[in-house]
Amino acid sequence: PVRRREVLHLMNKSLPARVVSLLRDLGRVGDELELPVYAVGGFVRDLLLGNENDDIDVSVEGDGILFAETFAARMGYRVKSHEKFGTAVIVFPDGFKVDVASTRLEYYATPGALPTVERSSLKMDLYRRDFTINTLAIRLSGADFGMLFDYFGAYRDLQEKSIRVLHNLSFVEDPTRVFRAIRFEQRLGFQISRHTENLVKNAVKMGFLDKLGGKRLLNELVAIMKEREPVRAILRMSGLGLLRFIHPEIVLQAENLRVLDEVKKVTTWFDLLYLAETVEVWVVYFLALTTAISDDSFWGACTRLSVSEHYRERLIEMRIHGEQVLEVMERKVARGEDVRPSDIYFWLRGLTTEVLLYIMAKTRRDEVRKFVSLFVTRLRGVTTSITGDDLKRLGLPAGPRYREILDRILTARLNGEAASRDDELRIASGEIAAV
């Protein structure tokens, strides 16, 4: 236990006051129950690095559920416990959450027998973690609030900016850690240590990653693509030979790298529009990464990642549709043909935002990029003022002409040929009379 003063200083300097008092409150309830309580993991790592982190993980040497339930009861918060794992989540009225774990292990030696309870120490508990930088703990209970526990050289690794596993079987135990290592490396600007990198290479060579379930692999990829610099992480994955575990045909070459770099730009652009719409950024990166492989292989990659059948079908359909529309637009531009706003609208209206962004990233033509941006920012919000009810009132008999006439009016709107409801009604009457 070291560096208490440094930790207290960092807490007061960088944590919001309410988080500091929350940590104190957690410690007090620990004292009351005579249980040692610690803040652990990513929260401590980020505190020492000066990075913001709102995910507070608490470890209790003893019964974590009892601790969480007592704490929640004292404060009037809600709590969700998972008896089987000895974990609980304390949920604050504003949605803020604290995860609580027990350093206690409970298992059933034989079916129907009473559970065997094993108390594991904080140190044992931390030893099970992925990298040294995630093994720091800060004592919250007792007189030594703020004491840092560093059993595995984490403080030094933070200073040396090094990602290190705790033991040689770490990646065998949990292959997702290979991807986590890359994610932390890129996010924190650290470097995977030489020995750890050799263990990654070994895990790759020995095929341990084949055993990784699709869901878990997908989760890791999604997490990587949600980071600030996914392309660097993808390059790193490529360098370590990891991309082929998604699909053997996925390799980085000039073309998908260019598209990946563009994805970064277009998603940043989209973010800055502050639309009330969220996009699945990972989908855009995934489409870019797989841009050069066949539809069959794309399907294979989605299957490997256990993307649900429903979503897989939707993804492949979107990809095919998107490529077709891209081709149409590029041909028009190449031939110098006139393109009206309504053309753009009807080409793009069936596509998801993820595919629209993918098209923007993929095209080499500025004009096409402008078409899509015009659609996203303006055209797709255009509607007609009149509806089917108006057409009915004008005497249009039921049938497919409703759709046609409304589209005709929408076209006029989009192209600036109808500016008001009256304009629209005039067009509608004309169309109805023309039959």
Residues engaged in binding ligand CTP (CB under 6 A): 41-42, 55, 129-130, 134, 174, 176-177, 180
Considering beta carbons, is residue 154 or 318 the nearer one to ligand CTP? 154
Residue 92 makes CB contacts below 8 A (sequence gap 6+) with 77, 98
Considering beta carbons, is residue 75 or 223 the nearer one to ligand CTP? 223
Element (H, E) at 422: helix 421-433
- In whole angstroms, the minimum distance from the beta carbon of 233 to ligand CTP comes to 13
Considering beta carbons, is residue 150 or 343 the nearer one to ligand CTP? 150
**Tokens encoding 319:** 């990809």
Any alpha helices (H) in 76-175, and if so which ranges?
A: 122-127, 154-159, 170-173
Report the residue closest to ligand CTP, judged by CB: 42
**Tokens encoding 216:** 């878990």
- Cβ burial, residue 316 (10 Å; 0-12/13-18/19+): middle
**Tokens encoding 81:** 């416990």
- In whole angstroms, the minimum distance from the beta carbon of 130 to ligand CTP comes to 3
Considering beta carbons, is residue 227 or 323 the nearer one to ligand CTP? 227
**Tokens encoding 230:** 């996914």
Considering beta carbons, is residue 42 or 153 the nearer one to ligand CTP? 42
Task: Report which of 383, 391, 431, 433 is spatially closest to residue 411, judged by C-alpha positions.
Answer: 383
Considering beta carbons, is residue 170 or 384 the nearer one to ligand CTP? 170
- In whole angstroms, the minimum distance from the beta carbon of 180 to ligand CTP comes to 6
> b vs e for 180-213, b when ≥16 Cβ sit within 10 Å of the residue's Cβ?
bbbbbbbbbebebbeebbebbeebbeeebbeebe
- In whole angstroms, the minimum distance from the beta carbon of 380 to ligand CTP comes to 34
Task: Report which of 64, 187, 48, 47 is spatially closest to residue 122, judged by C-alpha positions.
Answer: 64
CA dihedral angle for residue 303, residue 305, residue 310, residue 314, rounded to 10 degrees:
-90
- In whole angstroms, the minimum distance from the beta carbon of 82 to ligand CTP comes to 15
- In whole angstroms, the minimum distance from the beta carbon of 166 to ligand CTP comes to 9
- Mapped onto helix, strand or coil, the DSSP state of residue 250 is coil
Phi/psi of residue 115, each to 5°?
A: -65, 140
Considering beta carbons, is residue 7 or 410 the nearer one to ligand CTP? 7
What whole-number distance in Å separates Cα of residue 30 and Cα of residue 22?
12
End-to-end CA distance of the chain: 88
- In whole angstroms, the minimum distance from the beta carbon of 356 to ligand CTP comes to 29
- In whole angstroms, the minimum distance from the beta carbon of 129 to ligand CTP comes to 3
- In whole angstroms, the minimum distance from the beta carbon of 325 to ligand CTP comes to 36
Considering beta carbons, is residue 55 or 296 the nearer one to ligand CTP? 55
Considering beta carbons, is residue 222 or 333 the nearer one to ligand CTP? 222
